[in-house]
Structure 1
Amino acid sequence: MNSSSSYLLHTSCPSCGAEIGIRSATAVTAVCGYCHSVLLVNQNKLLESGRHSAVLSDLSPLQIGTTGKWQGKSFILIGRIQVHYEAGLWNEWHALLADGSSVWLSETNDRFVFTRLQPASASEEKLPEFSSLEVGKTFFKYQSRWYAVADIHKTSRGQYAAEGELPVQLPNSETALVADCRNGLSFITLDYSSGQQQPEVFAGRGVTLKSLKLQNTRTKEQIRSQAGYIKGSNKRGKCPNCGGEILWISGITDYVLCQYCRSKLDMSEEAALQKNISERRQQQERQLTIKIGSKARINNENWWVLGAVVLFEVSVEKVFRDVPLYIQAEREESDEEDSLGWTEYLLYSPRKGFLWLLELENNQWALASTLDDWPVLSAPLEPIDLKRKNIPFLYDYAAQVIYAAGAFYWQVSPGDRMYYIDYGCKAHKLSTTLTDNEQSWSVVSTIPASLVAAWFQNDKNISIEAKPLAPDKAVEIVREHQGIKAKDFNADNIRKWSRQTFINSLFDIYNPNFWIALFIVLNLPVIFIILVGGPANYDHGVVALEVFGSAFGLLMTVPKLKTRLLNQTKKYNIYIAAILLIALTWLDYAVHETDTNSSGGYYYSSSGRWHK
């Protein structure tokens, strides 16, 4: 499919004379790869349209000429429509199958979906109007299946760019009204842009790049060196003060005012964003535990840290006001300075795609992967397992971006807010993230700091407070995480994961369960003597039991004391727990010894034996 003999039309660009080959019999539009002229295909001729088009080189591993297999059929990517809007962009790749038919490979953020246009009579139900669609709320039926809204693309300033050949004409800048909808394995796109009462429907399902057996993809060097550059004069980059995205035109615009922090930036030189890094930005980047551009070695694959987002928790009501009754949680009122904060690092591998590494408080870490297939939903925010039972709800919370730096597959800026709902258990969570126009589902797994230390152990600029995990154990943890899908969240697996987490916590000195378990073991002799000593000893043991209960409760609050009051590092938390353990255990024995000595009961001697 790559040879020139496969072209149905082989001619020259009427604008610059470059050779152009047309493969598809349904091609209507072609874009010259040299001068970027938009050409019309008419009766085996290429006609100038008077328009030019240039796509942004983004983080996509795909390109014109990429080949693969889908549903057992070979395909080649021969064209792309790139839609730019206020929140970022998405790609629609025109794929030509071996039988000559066309399908679309949609690339939104880091998700990929193959779809086909459905006949207008494919649905007997009236589909919802575009104005009524709401992320996290709309739930409608199409061809006997229910769908929730995943993405809403609405813009009155849409910019359409293209390359290669397309079976449709390239739209002018116009209103784009498109919504992606999902439920389980099912996916549909509703396109309202034509202005018709009922939208065009494209149906399909999500795919992984690995399953497509791709060839001739972009190399990691191409992606890293070209991402963010347009084949033309338009430029985009990050504000050196706050990390917000800015746009400018080189050679024309000398000064740009950042819409987020209002900084005035001198863009008179091409590399201004890279050279004029402010002191504030440098200080913020130095505070990151993992530096942007660092390389991690994960399961024999190289992963690069493309970007970092720093968030802090805010009130849910500020982000998602109408929280459904079935997920409302009791919330503690707290001041903003007591709010939790965390950092999310975007990792990228040319062969494996994207991965999120979350750095939480107290050197706690988690790994997150966006799901290609959603969980089965009984409502937009209510996942159910294969037995149609609700997956256990954990908690919901909201966050705001305070700092963003690096490259991302969507536009992220300071002030952005998200709403999260977690289901499952602490070890592995099924988590959904909502913004005003998007909802996604992810698997989030708690991982030890030693695993992160193992990934970055060859980077001398990164210091993780943990001994690197053994390679075989590190591989096992990552494989377990990557193997978990939405369908795996059922009662049996959640009990298994919870049980394993509890057992592991008993051997982790950084976990409160370790100290609580140790306290119980050390104080068992006191409890045993009280219980076996008969009624006569019950009264004398009351004080000791009260001390034991108070000490137990105090140990339970150690993490909270650390976070709210002491504001120390994690190692000091261990010292506090150890001191409390020793002091409270001594007090418990002292109280019991006093009671028993005064009443003729049992007491513990310094020789380590029990005496009458």
Structure 2
Amino acid sequence: MNSSSSYLLHTSCPSCGAEIGIRSATAVTAVCGYCHSVLLVNQNKLLQSGRHSAVLNDLSPLQIGTTGKWQGKSFILIGRIQVHYEAGLWNEWHALLEDGSSAWLSETNDRFAFTRLQPASAGEEKLPEFSSLKVGKTFFKYQSRWYAVADIHKTSRGQYVAEGELPVSLPNSETALVADCRNGLSFITLDYSSGQQQPEVFAGRGVTLKSLKLQNTRRKEQIRSQAGYVKGRTKRGKCPSCGGEILWVSGVTDYVLCQYCHGQMDMSEDAALQKNISEKREWYERQLTIKIGSKARINNEDWWVLGAMILVELPVQIAFPDVPLYVQVMREETEEEDSLGWTEYLLYSPRKGFLWLLELENNQWAMSSTLEDWPILNGPLQPLDLKREDIPFLYDYAAHVMYAAGAFYWQVAPGDRMYYIDYGCKAHKLSTTLTDNEQSWSVVSTIPASLVAAWFQNDKNISIKAKPLERDKAVEIVREHQGIKAKDFNADNIRKWSRQTFINSLFNIYNPNFWIALFVVLNLPVIFIILVGGPADYDYGIDAVLVFIFAFSLLSTVPKLKTRQLNKTRKYNIYIAAILLIAFTWIDYAAHETDTNSSGGHYYSSSGRWHK
């Protein structure tokens, strides 16, 4: 497929003389791989356009010449448009299918989608205008299917660069008005950049690279020679503002935040160029549990920590006052009271892509993976299971970034705000995250600290307060998480996950269920007598019951007390719970003895049982 016989046109570049082969009969534009001249294909000739175009050498596994299968048809990637804008970049790969038709493989952040341009039809539903599109609100119909807005790309300084051959002309730097929309397996892109009121529509579905059965992808050796750095290796440099050392991964992302002065730098050309130092110099001087640049070993794969950010919870009404909340819980907490925080680490694997590791309070952890296939939606924020029933709602909350350092696949800065809604159960949550211009769905799984300790056990600079989990169990937990998709959130699975969570909580001293269960066990004699019966005058056991209820309430609350110190193990809460457990057990037995003596020593009766 790479031989000259597969080319429809084989000629020389009119600018530098290098050989160029054109595979597609619909090619309009070609970019010379040697001198980067943008050439126009006209009647089997290549004409100079006077423009030059060079894409950023990134760490995408894709390249010109990568082959695979999509919808049962073989394809080869023969071109790429790379769009640079204020918040980052995205790639649009031109795929030539075996029947000679074209499709587009979109690569945005950590997600991929295969689409085709749809013919315009006067009979189709009128699509919304670009100015009316709102993340979390817009829900419209196209070809008998409803869609919610996933991404909105709006820029007045878009730069289009390309390589290979394209079925369209390469746009000049201009305003880009593009929106990606999803529902379940379906994906469409609405492109308003032409200035027309109704957009061009590209329809398809989200895909994983594994499902495409790719061949001839980029190898580490190629990346070393082309980008200068092997996938996953960190690069060191000095912040141009404060001189502090910064770490980033070459080619993965465009933006890096200095952990010392919060300077924001554009790394798109692998040089720390100052972009904008407008953020406040105040930041949380806090040592991260996991260092940026650290390496984790997860299921026989190497993962590197690219970046970390600390988020602090805000009341939803303050962060996103315009979000149409339909949730059952009305929040009344003030910003000061609702100051829970957590840390999110972005991990990257050359073969597996991106993974989020969340460090919560009390040495609690979770991992999160972005979903390629969205859940079936009955509205932008209303997921359904396969039976078209609502997935159980857990809670909604909002947060803003207090501190960020390292590299990310989008532009992040202190002060950025996100809105979250979680569904399912604590063990495995179907979670949606909204910003002003983006919505995504993820699976978030609670994991033990011992699993994180196992991942980083070879890094002596990282100390996780847990004994590393044995390998087989660690592999099992990660595989379970990676195997969960949106369609798996049904009533049966959620009940099963909830039972597992409750059982596990009985052995976790940071969970109130542990202290409640221990209190019940220690007070079984008193509980048994209260339930079996009491004296005829009904006074027996009441004091003990009141003590039991009061202790039960306190022990349910103490391990969850809030603190303003982020991600510090709150041992004092455990000490308080232990003291309360001992004190109320003693008081409960004392109250029981007092009630028994005052009732003449009668222990049983056919009446007087306590009911809630």
Contact 1:242–1:403 (CA<8 Å) still a contact in 2?
Answer: no
Cα 1:20–1:404, aligned 2, differ >3 Å: closer, same or farther? farther
* Candidates 216, 240, 246, aligned match of 2:265: 246
| 1:260 matched to 2:281 | no
Cα 1:415–1:479, aligned 2, differ >3 Å: closer, same or farther? same
The whole-number CA distance in structure 2 between the counterparts of 1:187 and 1:124 is: 17
Q: How much does 1:99 deviate?
A: 2.6
Q: How much does 1:262 deviate?
A: 6.9
Cα 1:441–1:254, aligned 2, differ >3 Å: closer, same or farther? closer
- Structure-1 residue corresponding to 2:20: 20
- Structure-1 residue corresponding to 2:340: 340
- Structure-2 residue corresponding to 1:271: none
- Structure-1 residue corresponding to 2:95: 95
- Structure-1 residue corresponding to 2:192: 192
The whole-number CA distance in structure 2 between the counterparts of 1:78 and 1:314 is: 47
Q: How much does 1:215 deviate?
A: 2.2
- Structure-1 residue corresponding to 2:223: none
| 1:71 matched to 2:90 | no
The whole-number CA distance in structure 2 between the counterparts of 1:537 and 1:522 is: 27
Contact 1:15–1:37 (CA<8 Å) still a contact in 2?
Answer: yes
- Structure-2 residue corresponding to 1:594: 594
- Structure-2 residue corresponding to 1:158: 158
The whole-number CA distance in structure 2 between the counterparts of 1:568 and 1:117 is: 52
Contact 2:256–2:405 (CA<8 Å) still a contact in 1?
Answer: no
3-state SS of the aligned residue for 2:174?
coil
Q: How much does 1:255 deviate?
A: 8.2
The whole-number CA distance in structure 2 between the counterparts of 1:257 and 1:369 is: 30
Q: How much does 1:365 deviate?
A: 0.7
- Structure-2 residue corresponding to 1:51: 51
The whole-number CA distance in structure 2 between the counterparts of 1:365 and 1:565 is: 17
More moved, 75-84 vs 529-538: 529-538
3-state SS of the aligned residue for 1:527?
helix
The whole-number CA distance in structure 2 between the counterparts of 1:522 and 1:210 is: 53
3-state SS of the aligned residue for 1:595?
helix
The whole-number CA distance in structure 1 between the counterparts of 2:375 and 2:123 is: 23
Cα RMSD after superposing both structures: 2.7
Q: Over residues 479-520 of structure 1, what are the superposed CA-to-partner deviations in whole Å (9 max), with x where a residue is unaligned? A: 111111111111221111112111111122222101101101
Q: Over residues 215-262 of structure 1, what are the superposed CA-to-partner deviations in whole Å (9 max), with x where a residue is unaligned? A: 2223455444698768xxxx96544645564348999x9984624327
Read off the aligned partner of 1:330 and give its amino acid letter.
Answer: M
- Structure-1 residue corresponding to 2:487: 487
The whole-number CA distance in structure 2 between the counterparts of 1:205 and 1:461 is: 42
The whole-number CA distance in structure 2 between the counterparts of 1:300 and 1:502 is: 30
More moved, 544-553 vs 402-411: 402-411
Cα 1:562–1:584, aligned 2, differ >3 Å: closer, same or farther? farther
Cα 1:352–1:545, aligned 2, differ >3 Å: closer, same or farther? same
- Structure-2 residue corresponding to 1:415: 415
Contact 1:58–1:228 (CA<8 Å) still a contact in 2?
Answer: no
The whole-number CA distance in structure 2 between the counterparts of 1:550 and 1:569 is: 26
More moved, 117-126 vs 581-590: 117-126
The whole-number CA distance in structure 2 between the counterparts of 1:337 and 1:2 is: 63
Contact 2:256–2:406 (CA<8 Å) still a contact in 1?
Answer: no
Unaligned runs of 5+ in 2: 221-228, 236-247, 604-612
3-state SS of the aligned residue for 1:48?
strand
Cα 1:261–1:13, aligned 2, differ >3 Å: closer, same or farther? same
More moved, 101-110 vs 310-319: 310-319
- Structure-2 residue corresponding to 1:452: 452
Contact 1:134–1:149 (CA<8 Å) still a contact in 2?
Answer: yes
Q: How much does 1:579 deviate?
A: 2.2
Contact 1:346–1:357 (CA<8 Å) still a contact in 2?
Answer: yes
- Structure-2 residue corresponding to 1:371: 371
1:413-452 paired onto structure 2 within 5 Å: 413-452=413-452
Contact 2:362–2:568 (CA<8 Å) still a contact in 1?
Answer: no
Cα 1:570–1:223, aligned 2, differ >3 Å: closer, same or farther? same
Contact 2:561–2:573 (CA<8 Å) still a contact in 1?
Answer: no
- Structure-2 residue corresponding to 1:313: 313
Q: Over residues 30-68 of structure 1, what are the superposed CA-to-partner deviations in whole Å (9 max), with x where a residue is unaligned? A: 112222221112222222211111222334221222222
Contact 2:151–2:438 (CA<8 Å) still a contact in 1?
Answer: yes
Q: How much does 1:13 deviate?
A: 2.4
1:572-611 paired onto structure 2 within 5 Å: 572-601=572-601
State the identity %.
Answer: 83
TM-score, normalising length: structure 2: 0.89
1:56-135 paired onto structure 2 within 5 Å: 56-121=56-121, 124-135=124-135
The whole-number CA distance in structure 1 between the counterparts of 2:450 and 2:66 is: 38
- Structure-1 residue corresponding to 2:390: 390
3-state SS of the aligned residue for 2:523?
helix
3-state SS of the aligned residue for 1:57?
coil
Contact 2:313–2:338 (CA<8 Å) still a contact in 1?
Answer: no
Cα 1:479–1:465, aligned 2, differ >3 Å: closer, same or farther? same
Contact 1:338–1:564 (CA<8 Å) still a contact in 2?
Answer: no
Contact 1:32–1:39 (CA<8 Å) still a contact in 2?
Answer: yes
Cα 1:149–1:345, aligned 2, differ >3 Å: closer, same or farther? same
- Structure-2 residue corresponding to 1:274: none
| 1:530 matched to 2:549 | no
Cα 1:189–1:599, aligned 2, differ >3 Å: closer, same or farther? same
Cα 1:33–1:468, aligned 2, differ >3 Å: closer, same or farther? same
Read off the aligned partner of 1:474 and give its amino acid letter.
Answer: A
Read off the aligned partner of 2:550 and give its amino acid letter.
Answer: S
Q: Over residues 553-591 of structure 1, what are the superposed CA-to-partner deviations in whole Å (9 max), with x where a residue is unaligned? A: 111111234637999734443333222212211111122
Cα 1:125–1:156, aligned 2, differ >3 Å: closer, same or farther? same
3-state SS of the aligned residue for 1:46?
strand
Contact 1:130–1:177 (CA<8 Å) still a contact in 2?
Answer: yes
More moved, 181-190 vs 54-63: 54-63
Q: Over residues 281-332 of structure 1, what are the superposed CA-to-partner deviations in whole Å (9 max), with x where a residue is unaligned? A: 9x95x71111112111111222111211221112212332133352252224
- Structure-1 residue corresponding to 2:474: 474
- Structure-2 residue corresponding to 1:607: none
3-state SS of the aligned residue for 1:91?
strand
Q: How much does 1:72 deviate?
A: 2.2
The whole-number CA distance in structure 1 between the counterparts of 2:480 and 2:268 is: 46
| 1:352 matched to 2:352 | yes
Contact 2:362–2:567 (CA<8 Å) still a contact in 1?
Answer: no
Read off the aligned partner of 1:376 and give its amino acid letter.
Answer: I
Q: How much does 1:191 deviate?
A: 0.9
More moved, 335-344 vs 31-40: 335-344
Cα 1:349–1:257, aligned 2, differ >3 Å: closer, same or farther? closer
Q: How much does 1:214 deviate?
A: 1.6
The whole-number CA distance in structure 1 between the counterparts of 2:520 and 2:40 is: 80
Cα 1:223–1:302, aligned 2, differ >3 Å: closer, same or farther? closer
The whole-number CA distance in structure 2 between the counterparts of 1:123 and 1:385 is: 31
The whole-number CA distance in structure 1 between the counterparts of 2:268 and 2:207 is: 36
Contact 1:260–1:414 (CA<8 Å) still a contact in 2?
Answer: no
1:140-219 paired onto structure 2 within 5 Å: 140-219=140-219
Q: How much does 1:125 deviate?
A: 1.0
Q: How much does 1:15 deviate?
A: 2.3
3-state SS of the aligned residue for 1:182?
strand
The whole-number CA distance in structure 1 between the counterparts of 2:406 and 2:275 is: 19
The whole-number CA distance in structure 2 between the counterparts of 1:229 and 1:532 is: 70
Contact 2:11–2:19 (CA<8 Å) still a contact in 1?
Answer: yes
Cα 1:394–1:240, aligned 2, differ >3 Å: closer, same or farther? closer
Contact 1:346–1:408 (CA<8 Å) still a contact in 2?
Answer: yes
